[in-house]
């Protein structure tokens, strides 16, 4: 065997040389391997790594696009943008949130409740979702933060544009508001723009519905930046493409005027053009200020809004359902005419109508004497309608109600509208498995019972009655829209209704105070008072706010050549006298804005300033009382859900009604003492502990 041979030096040297050769070869092989790897990385994979190196080197910062404006029919801004300085936080990059906020607080002059709002949002925000600290800063504050950036990691000061609503609360429900994108929004879209500081997404109303159109295309700033984010140099900027504007049929001035005129009440005003169906004003008050919502809803604000029994978060125009009361009477009268009833046919009203062994009361227990159709309307005599409704039948009346828009769906760019009910025998059978009864007809003809409508439908009814055209409410201005078709009513029928409605205001009717303070324009209208609770609980005029009657008024002007139609609903206003003065002033504004403003300013002195002054005062009072101790506002989506819950229509009675409603008293035809404005309704005491405004 070879191993048996004695080991010698020569053999070892030989072995060494052979093994050194092996070692050298192995080393050379490693060298070749390294060279190959180098070639693979630098040549074969060059494109990939070149791209990776570029994406390291170049930092792309998105510039949020300027949002498209929302303008009124004449081009005035309802929602615009204004240049501002703002400061955001990126939660992922903030090292010590408490210390950062402690530094920022005094620099930006943040109040304690604001600081706790930001803390709550920081806790809830995910990673790269920016949290707004402050916007609309002046240069000094902005500069003070900018120079201290090195000690404030995660703080992003920048100049940009923010959404601005010149008339604030007046357009809250009309336009909606914007806010930072939520985690859900981001998950849905996966667009890096959504987590760009300063970018806002439409959260409600038109802002949400037309998000795509309004958004625009973001600009971008390319900079060379180090790994730690320090900018070395600017490589260029691409301008943003602003979003497209949307033009509404609204008249900005009118919208604001109506919102202010509602005053301390809780209600809606809708004004429509009688030639086209354009919605000129659509107001639900009280409202929120969309300007202050854009940085998220603060805890004080949320407390203030959610405790208010006037439900400022509900868009009452589209989501409020009310029994329309006597405002249906012109519609019922028209159905009688269409059914062939002679308008001069009359019935004697002695304060009630006996059917079988039952007596159905008129609101006027003393009776109206002989009542024909015109008097039935302008005196709002219930007996007239009870009597002839028995003859004509409910189906005819319900058909007319639907023709004029009640209970109908209209396409509007808002989610979650409530459409209400126009009852008829078939509906009742389907819904409650019960036969239609006489008292059901009695209820329906005076707009009570099962009948529920929203204020927009009332405005449509008014405009169709006024024009005889099949008007549909339109919110987006379209100058080339086809002319609306005729409803097919006979002009003499309409004339009769118009003159009776004119009598309501300018004659022997129920709303003498509603006469326009203008020499050459006469307005026609119809009052309505809808009971909220039975007479056993309250008389509907005083007592608890929640128990007072709703006040309605529909009208159009001029009565002989209608141009504008309007519907006003005041929740728990104590009857129609709460509604028609508002309608009067809104209509006045359409023909003579200066005169209308004069009246409004007089009222606002008594109310403690205009809407925004009152809201600010209330906010300050809340802030002083609760400060940072108020519970945190729910996050956007939670808030949205609560608002939605708030916006659910009043539930239909689950059990069928078993009796006629007692008609709420219409006002006596008061002596005409115009144009001095009647004293405003007293400030409404609310059961919730809310500080009095103006303190």
Partner 1 sequence: MQRAYIPQIIARQPWRVILPLLALVVFGSLVLYSAAGGNIRPWAGMHVARFFVFLVMAAAIARVPQDWFKRAALPIYLVLCVLLVLVELIGGIGGGSQRWLNLGFMTLQPSELMKPGIVLVLAWFYSVLPVGEVGGWRAIAPAVLLLGFPAGLVMLQPDLGTGLAISFGAVVMMFLAGLPLRLFIGGALAGAIVAPVAFFTLLHDYQRKRVLVFLDPESDPLGSGYHITQSKIAIGSGGLFGKGFGHGSQSHLDYLPEAHTDFVFATMSEEWGMAGGLFVLAVFFLVFRWGLKVATNAPDRFSRLLAAGMTTTIFFYMCINLMMVMGLAPVVGIPLPFMSHGGSSMMTNMICIGTIMAVDRWSRRTGTGLL
What residues line the site for partner 1 (CB under 8 A)? 3, 6-9, 12-13, 15-17, 19-20, 23-24, 27-28, 30-31, 33-35, 37-39, 41-43, 45-46, 48-50, 52-54, 56-57, 224-228, 232
Residue among 30 and 537 whose Cβ is closer to partner 1:
30
How many Å apart are CA 135 and CA 142, to the nearest integer?
9
Q: With respect to partner 1, which residue has the nearer C-beta, 53 or 391?
A: 53
Q: How far is the CB of 222 from partner 1 (least distance, A)?
A: 14
Cβ proximity to partner 1, 38 vs 102, nearer residue:
38
Q: How far apart are CA 111 and CA 616, in angstroms?
A: 15
Beta strand pairing call for 347-349 and 279-285: unpaired
What residue spans of 171-271 are helical by DSSP H?
A: 172-175, 183-189, 205-209, 211-215, 252-262
Minimum distance from CB of 202 to partner 1 (Å)? Answer: 34
CB atoms within 10 A of CB 18: 10
Closer CB to partner 1, 20 or 692, in the complex: 20
CB of 31 to partner 1, least distance (A): 6
Q: Is the dihedral of CA 423, 425, 431, 435 positive or negative?
A: positive
Strands 246-247 and 70-71, bridge-based pairing: parallel
Question: Burial of 499 by CB count in 10 Å (0-12 exposed, 13-18 middle, 19+ buried)?
Answer: middle
Shortest gap between Cβ of 42 and partner 1 (angstroms)?
4
Q: Which is nearer to partner 1, 23 or 83 (CB)?
A: 23
To partner 1, the closest distance from the beta carbon of 224 in angstroms equals 7
Report the residue number, 41 or 99, with the smaller CB distance to partner 1.
41
* Token pair for 45: 């994979």
How far apart are CB 12 and partner 1 at their closest, in Å?
5
Q: Which is nearer to partner 1, 2 or 479 (CB)?
A: 2
Residues 401/330, Cβ–Cβ less than 8 Å: no
The answer to whether 259 touches 287, Cβ cutoff 8 Å, is: yes
Q: Are 326 and 528 in contact (CB under 8 A)?
A: yes
Contact 534, 423 (CB under 8 A): no
CB of 61 to partner 1, least distance (A): 16
Report CA torsion sign: 68, 73, 76, 77: negative
In this structure, what are the phi and psi dihedrals at residue 210, rounded to the nearest 5 degrees?
-105, 25
Cα separations in angstroms, 58 against 127, 195, 223: 22, 19, 6
Taking the C-alpha atoms of residue 92 and residue 108, their distance in angstroms, rounded to an integer, is: 22
| Whole-Å CA distances, 1 to 4, 5, 6, 12, 15 | 6, 8, 11, 18, 18
Q: Strands 201-202 and 279-285, how do they pair?
A: unpaired
Closest distance of CB 214 from partner 1, Å? 36
- Supply the minimum distance, in Å, between the C-beta of residue 2 and partner 1: 11
Shortest spacing between CB 239 and partner 1, in angstroms: 26
35/682 with CB nearer partner 1: 35
- Shortest reach from residue 195's CB to partner 1, in Å: 18
Which of 29, 650 has the CB closer to partner 1?
A: 29
| Minimum distance from residue 621 beta carbon to partner 1 (Å) | 49
User: Per the structure block, which two tokens stand in for 67?
Assistant: 């949002």
Q: Residue 57 or 238: which CB sits closer to partner 1?
A: 57
For 168, the 3-state DSSP assignment is: helix
Which of residues 37 and 188 has its CB atom nearest to partner 1 in the complex? 37
CA nearest to 681, candidates 520, 562, 573: 573
Bond preceding residue 496 cis, omega within 30 of 0: no
Of residues 39 and 593, the one with the C-beta less far from partner 1: 39
From the number of C-beta atoms within 10 Å of its C-beta (0-12, 13-18, 19+), residue 688 rates as: exposed
CA distance readout (Å), 301 to 169, 618, 624: 13, 10, 13
């Amino acid at each position: 065997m070879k191993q048996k041979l004695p080991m010698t030096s020569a053999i070892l040297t030989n072995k060494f040389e052979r093994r050194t050769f092996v070692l050298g070869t192995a080393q050379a092989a490693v060298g070749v391997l390294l060279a190959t790897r180098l070639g693979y990385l630098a040549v074969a994979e060059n494109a990939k790594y070149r791209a990776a190196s570029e994406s390291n080197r170049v930092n792309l910062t998105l510039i949020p696009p300027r949002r498209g404006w929302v303008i009124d029919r004449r081009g005035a801004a309802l929602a615009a943008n204004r240049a501002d300085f703002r400061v955001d936080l990126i939660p992922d990059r903030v090292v010590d949130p408490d210390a950062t906020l402690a530094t920022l607080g005094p620099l930006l002059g943040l109040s304690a409740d604001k600081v706790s709002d930001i803390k709550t949002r920081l806790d809830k925000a995910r990673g790269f979702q920016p949290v707004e600290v402050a916007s609309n800063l002046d240069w000094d504050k902005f500069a003070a933060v900018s120079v201290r950036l090195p000690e404030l990691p995660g703080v992003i000061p920048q100049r940009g544009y923010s959404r601005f609503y010149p008339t604030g609360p007046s357009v809250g429900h009309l336009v909606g508001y914007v806010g930072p994108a939520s985690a859900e929004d981001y998950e849905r879209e996966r667009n890096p723009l959504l987590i760009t500081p300063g970018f806002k997404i439409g959260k409600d109303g038109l802002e949400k519905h037309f998000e795509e159109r309004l958004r625009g295309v973001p600009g971008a700033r390319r900079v060379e930046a180090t790994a730690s984010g320090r900018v070395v140099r600017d490589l260029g900027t691409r301008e943003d493409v602003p979003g497209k504007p949307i033009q509404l049929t609204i008249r900005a001035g009118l919208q604001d005027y109506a919102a202010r005129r509602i005053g301390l009440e809780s209600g809606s005003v809708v004004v429509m053009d009688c030639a086209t169906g354009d919605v000129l004003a659509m107001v639900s008050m009280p409202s929120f200020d969309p300007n202050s919502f854009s940085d998220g809803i603060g805890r004080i604000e949320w407390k203030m809004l959610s405790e208010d029994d006037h439900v400022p978060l509900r868009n009452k125009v589209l989501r409020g359902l009310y029994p329309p009361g006597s405002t249906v009477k012109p519609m019922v009268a028209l159905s009688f005419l269409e059914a062939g009833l002679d308008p001069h046919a009359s019935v004697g009203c002695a304060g009630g109508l006996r059917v079988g062994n039952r007596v159905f009361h008129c609101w006027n227990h003393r009776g109206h004497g002989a009542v024909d159709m015109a008097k039935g309307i302008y005196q709002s005599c219930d007996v007239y309608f009870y009597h002839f409704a028995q003859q004509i039948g409910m189906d005819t009346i319900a058909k007319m109600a639907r023709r004029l828009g009640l209970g109908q769906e209209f396409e509007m760019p808002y989610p979650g509208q409530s459409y209400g009910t126009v009852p008829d025998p078939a509906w009742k059978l389907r819904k409650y498995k019960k036969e239609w009864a006489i008292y059901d007809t009695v209820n329906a003809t005076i707009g009570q019972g099962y009948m529920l409508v929203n204020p927009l439908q009332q405005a449509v009814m008014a405009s169709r009655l006024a024009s005889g055209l099949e008007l549909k409410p339109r919110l987006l201005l379209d100058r080339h829209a086809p002319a609306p078709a005729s409803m097919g009513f006979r002009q003499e029928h309409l004339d009769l209704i118009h003159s009776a409605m004119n009598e309501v205001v300018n004659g022997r009717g129920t709303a003498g105070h509603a006469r326009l303070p203008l020499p050459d324009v006469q307005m026609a209208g119809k009052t309505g008072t809808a009971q909220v609770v039975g007479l056993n609980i309250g008389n509907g005029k005083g007592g608890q706010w929640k128990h007072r009657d709703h006040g309605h008024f529909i009208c159009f002007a001029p009565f002989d050549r209608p141009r504008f139609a309007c519907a006003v609903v005041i929740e728990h206003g104590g009857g129609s006298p709460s509604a028609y003065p508002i309608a009067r002033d809104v209509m006045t504004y359409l023909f003579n804005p200066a005169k209308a403003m004069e009246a409004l300013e007089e009222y606002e002195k008594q109310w403690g300033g205009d809407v925004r002054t009152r809201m600010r005062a209330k906010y300050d009072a809340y802030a002083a009382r609760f400060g940072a101790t108020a519970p945190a506002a729910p996050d956007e989506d939670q808030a949205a859900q609560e608002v939605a819950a708030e916006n659910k229509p009043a539930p239909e009675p689950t059990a069928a009604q078993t009796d006629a409603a007692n008609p709420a008293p219409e006002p006596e035809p008061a002596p005409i003492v115009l144009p001095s404005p009647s004293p405003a309704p007293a400030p409404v005491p609310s059961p919730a502990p809310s500080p009095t405004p103006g303190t």
